[in-house]
Amino acid sequence: MRSMKKILLSLVLAGGACFANAQTFVQVLYPSNISGGFAHTFADWALTPDMTDPANRVIAPVIIARDNSAGDSLLCNPTTQNLTGKIALVFRGECEFGTKAVNAWNAGAVGVVIVGNTAGELISMSSGTNAQGDVIDIPATFIKKEDGEIVYDALMAGDSVSMLLGNKNAYFVNDLGSTPGYTANVPAQAPVQLAESTTDFPIVYAAQIYNYGSANQSNVKVIVDLKKNGSVIHTDTSNVIALLNAGDSTDQFTFTNYDGALGVGDYTIEYAIVSDSVDDTPTDNKFIYPFRINNDKLFSYAKYNADSSFTFNSGNYGPAERNGDFRSCIMFKHPKGNQVGIKGLWFNASIGDDLTIDGEEILFQVFKWNDAFVYGTDSPSFNLLADVTAGSYIYEEDKQNEFVYAHMDDYVLLESNARYLVCAKIYNEKVYIGYDNETKYNYYSSIIGQYVSPIADGSTWYASGFVGGPVPSLTLHFFTTEEVGLANADKLVKATLYPNPAKDVVNVLVDNYEGAAKLTVTDLAGKTVIANDVTIASNGNVSFNTAGLNAGMYIVKMQLANGNEVKASVVVE
């Protein structure tokens, strides 16, 4: 029996880049009909081994772990099953990951594979509310629902299944490969206004290949196909590396990049690694990076999800232990930046502890990022962030795990070739922001010389974001030059606030409007202090009480039912 209950977890902050020879694998060795590697995350708890070290590699038979309770293979209860020397297959739901792992460890398991309960979801795991998972000294890994069900179905059919967990260096003889992000891609979604051709939206091929096997490999090369709507529009084969010794890697491949028209469409960049040998594990010899050029003026590093017809979100994340507010950001820079501005953005968030998210506020900030640094060498200070525009979203119903839209307060055109940070800012430590944990930008970041998904935990910034390189599912909605005047004229409505300064009551007189509105009052730090549904009278007047507010300046905003907005400031004495 498998539960579908969703539990939120957090990620670990990244201190630097990972390289291909330090990558980890979760791989079925046999039976041959399901052999291959799975996308995964490993738990990084107090005593879990470093799975990038080949000495900690685990190879063992897999068994479905059961506790004979109503939840059965959820393993939320201690089990009498003998798991000695086995990798325990466990399903997500009903209890924390640390609880499942401890129950498997106590029964003798040498590893734990936890299977997701939502298709496509790939998350990192915390050790639990009381850090109960910190006692285990075996690997615990998370894999997708669809991959776990392959293993589960084979076991239920009576097949013996063996898996490898960890670093596979020198386990196979002929084993060339790479990992996601170490073959170059491009932003997964871009508006056609910024991607009519490779002049505006360069497509640069690059690859780092590693010889994981025990044998030297000869005549190694990489073949790349660029496809539009399923048809190849460009193909290229790299130079040949005559010899790649066992345990070595190389990025010395040269390509002729595509130079030409792009336009609206669904694209893929597809890499294939070939050599004189037949590879023992070909699943990491091919990499496919989808990207979409759209008419909808949308930009995102998270990929487009054809199943939902919108941005992909594999889970909602935040720092393991927060030191104040948390900011999740994406970088934007473009030679035609002066042709667009940010009208708003789509995002996805959740809240932990089985709470509802209504009433929670998430702030959005757009900064011009003026730090001078060399990517990969310098650590940006994030001291030169200039405000451009901002917005906020207050949940009025429990729409967690759904994409919702936040407007920017002001529509401001960007600048060409200027670097911007667009950040979601969260105050509640139980609120998590959506991420795509499958699309990686390691090589792309080095090509453009930029950090694409920085985060901030309190006042501490991490330019590389989270370990493993997931990217926020933030999806920017642009407006163009011809829209900027009309947008601001249509959206902002004139209003007068009086008295100003105020003591107990503020009156708002709105021009030419009668009816419902949503009132929010925020302090200068961006914290909401009042959030009410109000009704504007036929004379355009509405009032609100300020008696409980501290002295200072406040920003007053009203979202009118016709889609327009009021924005003004008031001083409270």
Residue 485: predicted pLDDT: 56
Model pTM score:
0.80
Integer Cα distance of 163 and 141 in angstroms: 12
CB 178 within 8 A of CB 210: yes
Secondary element (H or E) of residue 403: strand 403-407
Q: Classify burial at 39, counting beta carbons within 10 Å of its beta carbon; exposed 0-12, middle 13-18, buried 19 or more.
A: middle
- The encoded tokens of residue 92 equal 């997500």
CB 86 within 8 A of CB 64: no
Residue 14: predicted pLDDT: 45
Fill in the amino acid letter for 7: I
Residue 422: predicted pLDDT: 98
> 363 pairs with which residues across the strands?
392, 425
CB 26 within 8 A of CB 113: yes
Integer Cα distance of 390 and 520 in angstroms: 14
Q: Classify burial at 526, counting beta carbons within 10 Å of its beta carbon; exposed 0-12, middle 13-18, buried 19 or more.
A: middle
In terms of Cα–Cα distance, which of 89, 86, 87, 85 is closest to 72? 89
- The encoded tokens of residue 514 equal 């009668």
Residue 71: predicted pLDDT: 64
Give me the average pLDDT of each 10-residue run along the chain (573 residues).
31 40 83 91 93 95 89 87 97 93 97 90 81 94 94 96 95 94 96 96 97 97 98 98 97 97 97 97 94 97 92 84 91 95 94 85 95 93 94 90 91 93 94 92 95 95 90 96 60 78 90 89 83 92 91 86 80 87
Q: Classify burial at 246, counting beta carbons within 10 Å of its beta carbon; exposed 0-12, middle 13-18, buried 19 or more.
A: middle
Residue 5: predicted pLDDT: 26
**Furthest-apart CA atoms within the chain: distance in Å:** 83
